[in-house]
Amino acid sequence: MNTAEFEDCLIALRPRLHRYCARMTGSAVHGEDVLQDTLVKALDAQAQGAVVDNVVGWLFRIAHNTSLDFLRERSRHTVVPLTDDIEAEALPEAEIVAIGFQTFLRLPELQRCAVILKDVLGHSVDEIAHIADCSPPAAKSALQRGRAALRQLAQAPDDARLPLLSDSDRQKISAYVQLFQSGDFDAVRAMLADDVKLDLVNRLQLAGRDKIGMYFTRYAEVTKWRFALGAVEGQPAMLVFDSTGAMERPAHFVLIDWAEGRIIKIRDFLFTPYVLEATDWVRLG
């Protein structure tokens, strides 16, 4: 597989890899971070001449290990010990899609891996064993236990993360959204720190107030967007709706970071619509 074919493969697999990383890390946003690290590692290995027979399995194994590294760095621990052998049927697609990412995070790592790969992404038990570097019997056992545990957890009271915004955070994100709503992008630019960073996820990264002006110009030129104050996974966010569609849910969202009253980072998920697949979001006000 040449470089161009390999890059096309990465583009095609990106949404599936994100579904795995997001559920492994318990966050669609963190899942995108892990996915980007995964793709960098894969591209580096390919550039160094790595010979791979099963590209899909190889990529998922990198994603699996990168997810575990992410979790271990943050010292997150699992809390669902199951010691008895349990037979469990596959979770229906409608049921598993409705389960929040944080619920997956409460499963032990191998159980989480097995359920996501089998019931969300359709991998075989042998493929799970290869990706997770375990035996097929261990993968099958983890799958059975994970399915049973998820059914129990899904029946527990909903513990969805609600945004706990300080008055200061609410005022800052509200002001940002209101300026987008009114089209006053000059006022938005006045809020930027000199070294502000723009991450147009999966498209480009820019740094410096003078470098990102075109970003706001492009938003001004596209008339279909509608903006609202909201929160994504408990973080203050600007929700962006497409007025040419149903507008029942955002088309994408934007996260903003501040320091000393200035915007220091803008992270826009316009080009990664798959991140909203099961993201916890809420519209505020």
Under DSSP, the state recorded for 113 is H
The pLDDT value recorded for residue 129 is: 94
Q: How far is CA 254 from CA 32, 176, 181, in A?
A: 14, 11, 14
Query: Where do you find CATH 1.20.140.160 in the chain?
Result: 3-154
Series of mean pLDDT values for 10-residue runs along the chain (285 residues): 86 93 90 95 90 90 94 60 47 64 83 90 92 93 90 67 63 92 94 96 94 92 93 87 91 93 95 84 79
Query: Where do you find CATH 3.10.450.50 in the chain?
Result: 167-283
Under DSSP, the state recorded for 10 is H
Q: How far is CA 201 from CA 35, 79, 87, 99, 253, in A?
A: 11, 32, 41, 25, 11
Q: pTM of the full predicted structure?
A: 0.75
CATH number of 3-154: 1.20.140.160
Indicate the SS3 state at residue 267. Answer: strand
The pLDDT value recorded for residue 80 is: 38
Q: Are 281 and 230 in contact (CB under 8 A)?
A: yes
Q: State the architecture of 167-283 in CATH terms.
A: Roll (3.10)
